[in-house]
């Protein structure tokens, strides 16, 4: 073992030490909780469910020869698990426990990973700040007065401050990539259908995708190898084998990256523009070629997404009625039971989106709104296909701004929705996206986004690898963890 603390090390190094017998899975699982977690978790509030006894049991059962042997992993709380409650950040589920593991959770366990708990999230994955959790907000590890992004803010923050080297989230419109950018970590949204959605509590079924958080490009690749692949329990899985990401360190020589600078001429913070320029320079120095062209405006995608996503949410969340799952309100009649249970159990953002989606699907408005949005989605997918005919990947912002302050946008839903203006297109088109950190600006993380055509994960990882040195991704250097800004306890 090196002098570097276990919690600072890559997942691949932890697994190698466990396989070689140099490190016990239990010690690996506890490293983040004994180190930064003991000091910072109370303030950050990245987790919803975790305890030492459960971690010990999981570590004792973990195979010691798997690809992720002994690696501690935190899961967003909308992934079903046998050994932890699955609340989706909502009071309507309370302490509900699933009778099965999600497919991605089962595959993590089979690879030797230790599930250490569940991460905080916006209720039912509806939000961009993790302020809409029924159990209190998560805070950004770099500045406790700011948000970590959402809806997967808990897992992103946990990876950022060293609680775990790997975490899983879900990305319906940017909910992995946006918090990754806000927390200074890597966040991969894979091609739709490459990671099973079986056991992921549905928000928008045609948009949802399980995603990966890590501090190292190689760790993202390692997790992808473990998780990707066919699943008979998910009818939406993509046919054929998952792409081979083993050459994630092969370089970018000869690759062409699209440069749609029209997208950030207005409304994008100067720190993000500077990060894009630095990322482009790093890719060019590594042998890639910049291909400038104009691209589809983001506002077109926003309108399409918030019609389709809310419509699917209205349908998916109809199952939470007080009869089959979780919270049940006291009522004498069935209709009152439904109304009271949902009124008491759902928070304001979930109620807002259910109402919007129900309206869009209602008689007389279906063709005017939902059907028209489906046609727009087809056009958006075509625009991306045309762009990738000219380049191998796109370099774009992940977010229009660095992390914003807690409470800054909670009373302005449209402003909150526009936080995802650069990420939702990938979900509509079903293509992969990877947010890559590009260091700090005024003490706050900034990130850029790499997008590619379907099954372009190998290309995105190669490009991200070329940006590692520029973006300070990788092993946390000695003292780096103490550079976080801590404005004080709540």
Catalytic residues: 76, 151, 175
**Alpha-carbon distance 410 to 417, whole Å?**
10
**Alpha-carbon distance 127 to 298, whole Å?**
18
Residue 240 gets the label, from left (phi > 0), alpha (psi -120 to 50) or beta, of left
**Alpha-carbon distance 467 to 438, whole Å?**
8
**Alpha-carbon distance 461 to 435, whole Å?**
10
Taking CA atoms, 72 is separated from 96, 403, 453, in Å, by 23, 27, 31
Q: Decide: helix, strand or coil at residue 58.
A: helix
**Alpha-carbon distance 273 to 92, whole Å?**
41
Residue 245 gets the label, from left (phi > 0), alpha (psi -120 to 50) or beta, of alpha
State how beta strands 256-259 and 186-189 pair: unpaired
Residues 273-306: b if buried by 16+ CB within 10 A, e if exposed: eebbebbbebbeebebeebeeebbebeebbebbb
85, 135 contact by CB (below 8 A): no
Strand partners, 258: 291, 394
């Amino acid at each position: 073992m090196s002098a570097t603390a276990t919690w600072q090390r890559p997942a691949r190094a932890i697994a190698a030490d466990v396989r070689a017998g140099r490190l016990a899975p239990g010690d690996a699982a506890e490293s983040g909780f004994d180190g930064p977690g003991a000091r910072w978790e109370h303030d950050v509030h990245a987790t919803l469910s975790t305890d030492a006894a459960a971690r010990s049991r999981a570590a004792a059962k973990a195979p010691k020869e798997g690809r992720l042997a002994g690696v501690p992993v935190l899961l967003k709380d909308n992934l079903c698990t046998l050994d932890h409650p699955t609340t989706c950040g909502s009071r309507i589920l309370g302490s509900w426990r699933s009778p099965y593991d999600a497919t991605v959770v089962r595959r993590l366990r089979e690879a030797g990973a230790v599930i250490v708990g569940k991460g905080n999230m916006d209720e039912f994955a509806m939000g961009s700040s993790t302020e809409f959790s029924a159990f209190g907000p998560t805070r950004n590890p770099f500045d406790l007065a700011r948000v970590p992004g959402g809806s997967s803010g808990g897992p992103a923050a946990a990876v950022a401050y060293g609680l775990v080297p790997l975490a899983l989230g879900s990305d319906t419109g940017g909910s992995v990539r946006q918090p990754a950018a806000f927390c200074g970590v890597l966040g991969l949204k894979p091609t739709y259908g490459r990671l099973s959605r079986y056991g992921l509590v549905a928000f928008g079924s045609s948009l949802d995708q399980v995603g990966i958080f890590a501090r190292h490009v190689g760790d993202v690749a390692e997790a992808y190898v473990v998780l990707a692949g066919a699943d008979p329990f998910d009818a939406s899985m993509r046919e054929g084998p998952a792409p081979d990401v083993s050459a994630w360190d092969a370089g970018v020589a000869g690759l062409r990256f699209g440069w749609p600078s029209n997208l950030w001429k207005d409304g994008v913070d100067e720190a993000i523009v500077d990060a894009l320029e630095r990322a482009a320079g790093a890719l060019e120095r590594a042998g890639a070629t910049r291909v400038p062209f104009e691209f589809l405006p983001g506002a077109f995608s926003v309108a399409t997404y918030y019609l389709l996503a809310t419509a699917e949410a209205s349908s998916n969340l109809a199952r939470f009625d007080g009869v089959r799952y979780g919270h049940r309100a006291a009522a004498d009649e069935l209709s009152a039971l439904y109304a009271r249970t949902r009124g008491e159990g759902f928070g304001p953002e979930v109620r807002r989106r259910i109402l919007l989606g129900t309206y869009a699907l209602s008689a007389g408005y279906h063709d005017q709104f939902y059907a028209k949005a489906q046609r727009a989605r087809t056009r958006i997918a075509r625009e991306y296909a045309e762009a990738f005919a000219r380049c191998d990947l796109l370099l774009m912002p992940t977010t229009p701004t660095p992390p914003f302050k807690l409470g800054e946008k909670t009373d302005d839903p449209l402003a909150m929705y526009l936080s995802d203006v650069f990420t939702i297109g990938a979900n509509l088109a079903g293509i992969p996206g990877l947010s890559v950190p590009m260091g700090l600006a005024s003490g706050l993380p900034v990130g850029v986004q790499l997008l590619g055509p379907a099954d372009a994960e190998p290309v995105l990882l190669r490009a991200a690898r070329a940006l590692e040195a520029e973006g300070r991704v990788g092993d946390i250097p000695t003292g780096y963890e103490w550079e976080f800004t801590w404005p004080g306890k709540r």
